[in-house]
Structure 1
Amino acid sequence: MNRQAQSAVLFLLGASLLHAATTDLYLRYVKQGLRPLVLVAGAVLIAAAVATVWYERKRARRQKQHTADHAAGHESHESHQAHGSQAHDGHEAHDGHKAHDGHDSHEGHEAHDGHKAHDGHDSHEGHEAHDGHDSHEGQEARDSHEVHDGHEARDSHEAHEDHSHREPRISWLLVLPLLALILVAPPALGSYSATRTGTALQEPLAYPALPAADPLSLSLVDYAGRAVYDHGRTLRHRQVQLTGFLALDRDGTPYLVRMALNCCAADAQPVKVALTGQVPPVLQPDTWLRVTGTYVPRRAEDPVNGGPIPFIQVTAAKPVAAPTDPYDESWNS
């Protein structure tokens, strides 16, 4: 997976988060109060994807310019070597012509002994010229070798960088959760989780006064807390309405349940209210019901963790559509 593919995955993930946050889909994962954070996370991921694309394009342009400069420098070096070789050949020819003219003039005016001395002098100069020529050729060879080594080192380093930035193909598996997020909307936790998890009822910090409505609409968590820990003092002689999904215990006891959460669906826990009285004869788990009834001072122990489960005396019950937010967040308020 190269950088372009990574940026595409980031963009799709950010777009999925924005889509979930602008609809009710995010409520399947987190509580309602986290919606702004989901929006920010989606925007940050999209910005990261755009920044990655921009950086990669800039890097490609810089690498292309570096390759062009490298090729131009290599051609300039070869041209310089060819020019130096021609200049060296011309210099040797000029030195040979001057030596020949000087030798003829010297033979016409000097004696035989002077001729020998001159021959010795010419031999010495020829030796020095030969040494200088060898030294020049050696220096050129060393310079050419060093430049060649430098080019090879840079090419090897660039090839190593390109090879080191290749990611393993297994990284494409990261796309699977993204596809699941886009294509599959998970259902809210229901009766399966509720019957395998103990009740998470907590004692309320206070019991605010209830309105005089009849029937009184209460959250299931509020009713259970008042029924257990306040012993139903604020619920007596009142018709109350509760909404939740249906779950059946192993012995067939029907529960009206809401999943309460603190942060996200991963920490959701059930709060249960047992049904008695005019319970519907056909009970289908995960069916959402609106139950009207009265408080009864009766409790049961949760078979999973032994927690308290209050009862409600049902006088009427009817199926209703699942709410937009299937989780109870009253603990957070």
Structure 2
Amino acid sequence: MKRETQNILLVLLGGALLKIALNGTYLRYVKPGQQAWLIGAGAIMVVLAFVSITRDIIAARRPEQVVAEVDDHGHSHGGFQSHSTWLLILPVLAVFLAPPALGEDAVNRAAGRTPPPPSSSQDFSFPALPAGDVIDQRVMDFVERAAWDKSGSLNDRNVRLTGFIVHKDDSTYLARLAIGCCAADAYPVKVKLDGPGLGTLVSDTWVKAVVRYQPGSSTTESRHVPTVTLADIQSVPEPPDPYEY
């Protein structure tokens, strides 16, 4: 591969990293804390590419300088390197094609993960829920409280959850994907919806749902997936950051 092509690929790859880091698309792949690293990596790639381009231009203006591209046999041995360099275009294409965030398929393919206890103590202590007719909670917090809070703080409370619709077999869920570092280690947290007309909900549609926890439904047998009674549901746009942490 010619140096000019390598430099162009390096500019494209660095530019792609800068693009997703600055417009927020990176949140489909990694946690917010990774933004600075993406900006730094993209900027370094672009700078290196322009330094290389500048050096090549300067060298080309020196007629006495001849750059040997081949060995004494008159051919290059860079075939494998040339082919592998073209692989740099794959992440560029992935960025510009902008695949969506993980959704229903990822939830259904995951083996599932039981929410970990909040501490090593046997008496799990959760802060009191705020007052109000309807309170907002993350799906992860709701699932954890349903699994481990023995005080029944969720009983008879209306909780608003934001997530996307997942259908599996005859069941309908509201789910989010939680990540530790990036989308590669994502795992689902979800609640099972109970109510009329659930089959008409479109998969992967983002919603805000007001629900009531059904006491005793978050058990080892249910893999600590609580069942909730659906009181109200509204479609909403996908949030800029689709994951929970």
TM-score interval for Structure 1 and Structure 2 normalised by the shorter chain: 0.7 to 0.9
1:318 is matched with 234
CA deviation after TM superposition for structure 1 residue 171, in Å: 3.9
Q: 1:279 to 1:298 in 2, by over 3 A?
A: farther
Q: 1:302 to 1:51 in 2, by over 3 A?
A: farther
**Of residues 173, 177, 185 in structure 1, which corresponds to 2:86?**
173
Q: 1:298 to 1:283 in 2, by over 3 A?
A: farther
Q: 1:276 to 1:182 in 2, by over 3 A?
A: closer
CA deviation after TM superposition for structure 1 residue 61, in Å: 5.2
CA deviation after TM superposition for structure 1 residue 159, in Å: 5.1
**Higher alpha-carbon Rg:** 1
CA deviation after TM superposition for structure 1 residue 52, in Å: 1.6
Q: 1:42 to 1:298 in 2, by over 3 A?
A: same
Q: 1:171 to 1:293 in 2, by over 3 A?
A: closer
The answer for unaligned runs of 5 or more in structure 2 is 120-124
1:309 is matched with 225
1:221 is matched with 140
Deviation per CA, 1:229-252: give whole Å up to 9, x if none: 1146222232111111111222x1
Distance in 1 separating the partners of 2:69 and 2:12: 32
Q: How does 1:32-111 map to 2 (within 5 A)?
A: 32-60=32-60, 64-66=63-65
1:192 is matched with 105
Distance in 1 separating the partners of 2:183 and 2:216: 30
CA deviation after TM superposition for structure 1 residue 163, in Å: 4.5
1:253 is matched with 171
The answer for unaligned runs of 5 or more in structure 1 is 68-156
2:118 is matched with 204
Could you list the structure 1 runs, at least 4 aligned residues long, displaced by more than 3 angstroms after superposition.
57-62, 161-169, 277-281, 300-303
Q: Which amino acid aligns with 1:197?
A: A
Q: Report how many residues are paired.
A: 237
CA deviation after TM superposition for structure 1 residue 24, in Å: 2.1
Compare 212-221 and 293-302 and name the one that shifted more.
Answer: 293-302
Deviation per CA, 1:37-86: give whole Å up to 9, x if none: 11111101101111221333344456x3356xxxxxxxxxxxxxxxxxxx
Distance in 2 separating the partners of 1:59 and 1:301: 71
Q: Which amino acid aligns with 1:65?
A: E
Relative to total residues, which structure has the larger helix share, 1 or 2?
Answer: 1
- Kept in 1, the 8 Å contact 2:208–2:234? The answer is yes
2:30 is matched with 30
